[in-house]
Amino acid sequence: MMGCPAGGFVGEIVLVAVQIAMILAVTKVCGWVLGRVGQPRVVGEIAGGLLLGPLVFGHYFPAASARVFPPGCLQGLEMVSYVGLVLFLMMIGAEVDTELAGGKGSLAITVGSIAVPFVLGVGLAGMLPRAEGVSRVGFVLFVGIAMSITALPVLARIIQERRGTGRAVDPGTASIALVCAAGNDVAAWALLAVILEIVRGGGLAGVMGRLALLAGFVGVMLFGARPMAARVAGRGPLWVWVVGIVAVAFVSARVTEMLGVHAFFGAFLAGVCVPWTKALEEGSERVLQPLIAVGLPLFFAMTGLRAQREMFSQSAMGWLAVVLVVAVVGKVGGSALGARVSGMSWRSSAEIGVLMNTRGLVELVVLNIGYREGILSPLLFTVFVLMAVVTTAMTVPGLGVVRRVGLR
């Protein structure tokens, strides 16, 4: 871990262990507290990260914060959280019913969930304060992308947590939402790659080549690897299959990352392509769940650890109200419209709209890229970070509203 003043390899290992223990303890408490008011654990995990970051712990106990979370010493947490996230999304991919997801207009929902918020975001960009020296075209397109994102990992976590609570999302609706969120993320990352080339003044040939390779990789996985694996499903020892699917998930995650799309999508794609038998799913869950239980809270808590106190300035709050309204109207409206056009009921369409409004960490990853590239000013970065957290927190209450209204 270069740049980490933790006192050698042993010191770094001890530091990571302390960080993990502290994050798990705080996020568990926050998850329990927010669970009492109907919020999913993922919101509690982000809240726990906010408490442990510069907003609270770093502000009131700066010396202790500098020792536990010193700058340049979060790489260990990132590695553990990355492992947990890849495994989690692989298991979520296993639960997607591709026949249900593909037969109810997933394409229309995906297009609506991207196109409507993108257009509204492009219109909003003309009102927002733009950093000096930033390409107007690049800025406008980036704001459109920031409005269009759905967070697959957070959405998957919310759907998973609602199972067994008496408020579970319909399996068909859940499968459609997950597949659309995956497609949404692919489109967002592809457009982001193009926008970054525009901002940097580079050529688009390389980007288009990578996108063509990505399409080829998805085709090979779905129409080549998946049928081949199905033919040999159930043969051989269970542990060989578990090791094999984990290896495939990490390779797939790495390939999509190299092609300009986040590793999230590669892990999810691997899970969709594996021929899951009941024994394999139960065995994988039993072996991998401890790693997921540690890595996933770390992944969401990292959001809060990177937050800054400037998030709560008065000017940021003013712009937040505008951005939040546009974000919710565009995402919920566009997704629900796509679902309704494809023949889904009003209730299912509304639920799809609410679920697709979940942004969470994928949005934050994109925003950090925009901030690093100088596309977003510190003020706008703050506004969009808050928008991502608020829209994520709206998901569960929104589903409750849809049910109480009694749409059919």
Considering the domain architecture, whether residues 53 and 122 belong to the same structural domain is answered as: no
Neighbours of 164 (CB within 10 A): 8
Same domain, 238 and 316: yes
Which domain does 237 fall in, by range? 82-299+311-405
At residue 349, the pLDDT reads: 92
Same-domain pairing of 269 and 345: yes
Average per-residue pLDDT in the chain?
A: 82
Last residue of a domain, one of 22, 43, 78: 78
**pLDDT confidence bin for 159, thresholds 50/70/90:** confident
pLDDT band for position 385 (50/70/90)?
A: confident
For tokens 């020892």, name the residue. 237
Kindly tell me if the per-residue pLDDT of 5 is higher than 70. Answer: no
pLDDT tens track for 29-80: 988 888 788 777 777 887 888 788 877 888 888 888 888 888 777 788 888 8
Confidence bin at 101 (pLDDT 50/70/90): low
| Separation CA 58–CA 402 (nearest Å) | 39
Q: Is residue 191 part of a domain?
A: yes
Could you tell me if 90 and 64 lie in one domain?
Answer: no
Nearest Cα neighbor of 206 from 197, 218, 215 is 197
Task: State both tokens at 83.
Answer: 């492992």
Residue that finishes a domain, picked among 29, 46, 78? 78
**Domain final residue, candidates 27, 58, 78:** 78
* Domain-located, residue 305: no
* pLDDT > 60? residue 358: yes
Q: What CATH number has the domain bearing residue 93?
A: 1.20.1530.20
Specify whether 380 is located in the same domain as 392: yes
45 and 124 fall within a common domain: no
Backbone angles phi, psi at 166, to 5 degrees: 85, -5
Domain check: are 68 and 89 in the same one? Answer: no
pLDDT of 181 above 60: yes
Number of domains in the chain: 2
Whether residue 15 is found in the same domain as residue 121: no
Please tell me whether residues 151 and 41 are part of one structural domain.
Answer: no
Residues 62 and 182 in one domain: no
